[in-house]
Amino acid sequence: MSAAPRTDENVIPAEDVTRWHAAIADELRAAFEAVLPVGKYTMGSQLAAFEMEFAAACGTRHAIGISSGTAALHLALLALDVGPGDEVITVPNTYVATAFAVTYTGALPVFVDVDPVTANMDPARLAAAVTERTRAILPVHLYGAAADVEAIRTAAPGIALLEDAAHAHGATLRGRPVGSLGEAAAFSFYPTKVLGALGDGGALTTGDEALAARLSELRYMGQRRVKHEHETLGYQERLDELQAAFLRVKLRDLDEQLVGRRRVALRYGEWLAGTPVVPPAHDPTGRHAYYMYTVLAPDREALVAHLERSGIRTQLIYPRLVPDQGAYRDHPWRAADDLAVARSLVPRLLCLPMFAELTDAEVDRVGRAIRDFYGVG
Ligand SMILES: Cc1ncc(COP(=O)(O)O)c(C=O)c1O
């Protein structure tokens, strides 16, 4: 059985995990072979080992494997005692899961505007958004760049902070790893994420022992240690053994992946110099995971069409603000301000192809096509 990557000489995909998987196919097969004969496919030794390794990678004491990033957010909010009557402040320019998780608990998602340069939660807006009902702050490390959690904490002291780290495996904020910055952090291992499983998966990290114990119970039907004893109303949201085994293989490559993504980002930056396209903000004191390389491009629709004709695929992440989604016609939410910055970014944002295995020649093809479109030599 071949694990050759998907290739079409003429097309540069927006994202592609098959090249990485082709390079590590033997190790992934060995991981499968290791799990198969054991017969224990949930809550086994692979999960325990992955949790230790992932906690270490995030500079935290505890990691808890969860079935998806969405479930991780939901369980973390429950463990932080978020429920009906509470408010959770988050950003509007995220995947719906961030806000849905708040809504699942019965609490109210409160959207606050973002910084025009980083597109992350704007700490300057936060103080005005906090009310006596605010139970948690939920910033997203958008595109792989850490939100300024330190400034957020200063603006909202004493309120629990949950990181949505679904985009930001391996990123740092002023040298401190994402996943260690809040009371807890939620990761997604959706296949195309910087660290992705071969199916759905997620994790929570925390430095708080009691919170970790609570999360372990919540993800496995409220079971503490003894089988058939269910202490709280829990959920069936475990990360399975096969995914844990695959993730252990891939975690070993995470640093190398980040180096590859950064190489692509730096090369794009050179091509974009002198064009009207604004590259992503880069904070030299931290590490960007470059889950997405998101630019602001004038005349975006025409540029997308030009790139399509050139065999270059792009994505829009996210093309619609969460409070503008149909789901929030039927569920309550509140905007803390006019969300004007987030709204102004939507028509210009564009995610260029980004994955660690993009070749220099492919990046150059993208860069050349963009320069041609804007008529800069
Ligand atoms: C910012 C953000 N939060 C949460 C999630 C939810 O993760 P999952 O798809 O694993 O449920 C995602 C996944 O796309 C995401 O991008």
Structural domain boundaries in the chain? 20-251, 254-374
Of 117, 81, 77, 80, the C-alpha closest to 99 is 77
d(CA 22, CA 310): 26
Instruction: Note whether 20-251 and 254-374 share their fold.
Output: no
CATH, domain 254-374, list 3.40.640.10, 3.90.1150.10, 3.40.50.360, 3.50.50.60: 3.90.1150.10
Coil, strand or helix: which one is 45?
Answer: helix
Look at residue 283 in the predicted model and tell me its pLDDT.
Answer: 87
Q: Which two tokens stand for residue 116?
A: 């025009």
Sheet holding 334-335, edge to edge: 62-66, 202-206, 184-188, 160-164, 134-138, 87-90, 108-111, 334-335
User: Letter for the amino acid at 252?
Assistant: R
**Which atom number of ligand 1 is nearest to the Cα of residue 140?**
1
Q: State the chain's maximal CA–CA distance in angstroms.
A: 69
CATH of domain 20-251: 3.40.640.10
Look at residue 7 in the predicted model and tell me its pLDDT.
Answer: 63
Ligand 1 center from residue 258 Cα (angstroms): 19
User: Letter for the amino acid at 64?
Assistant: I
Ligand 1 center from residue 105 Cα (angstroms): 17
d(CA 67, CA 70): 8
Q: pTM, whole model, 2 decimals?
A: 0.97
Q: Point out which residues pair with 121 in neighbouring strands.
A: 114
Candidate of 93, 140, 188 to mutate for ligand 1, largest count of ligand atoms within 8 Å of Cβ: 188
**DSSP designation for 223:** B
d(CA 54, CA 51): 5
Of 44, 52, 48, 97, the C-alpha closest to 75 is 97
| 81 phi-psi bin (left φ>0, alpha ψ -120 to 50, beta other) | left
Does the beta carbon of 190 lie inside 6 Å of ligand 1? yes
Ligand 1 center from residue 328 Cα (angstroms): 18
Q: Which two tokens stand for residue 145?
A: 């760049």
**Which atom number of ligand 1 is nearest to the Cα of residue 68?**
10
- Cis bond upstream, residue 143 (ω within 30): no
Ligand 1 center from residue 67 Cα (angstroms): 12
How do the pLDDT tens digits run along the chain, 377 residues long? 556 666 677 999 999 999 999 999 999 999 999 999 999 999 999 999 999 999 999 999 999 999 999 999 999 999 999 999 999 999 999 999 999 999 999 999 999 999 999 999 999 999 999 999 999 999 999 999 999 999 999 999 999 999 999 999 999 999 999 999 999 999 999 999 999 999 999 999 999 999 999 999 999 999 988 889 998 999 999 999 999 999 999 999 999 999 999 999 999 999 999 999 999 998 899 999 999 999 999 999 999 999 999 999 999 999 999 999 999 999 999 999 999 999 999 999 999 999 999 999 999 999 999 999 999 98
- Strands 172-173 and 160-164 turn out to be unpaired
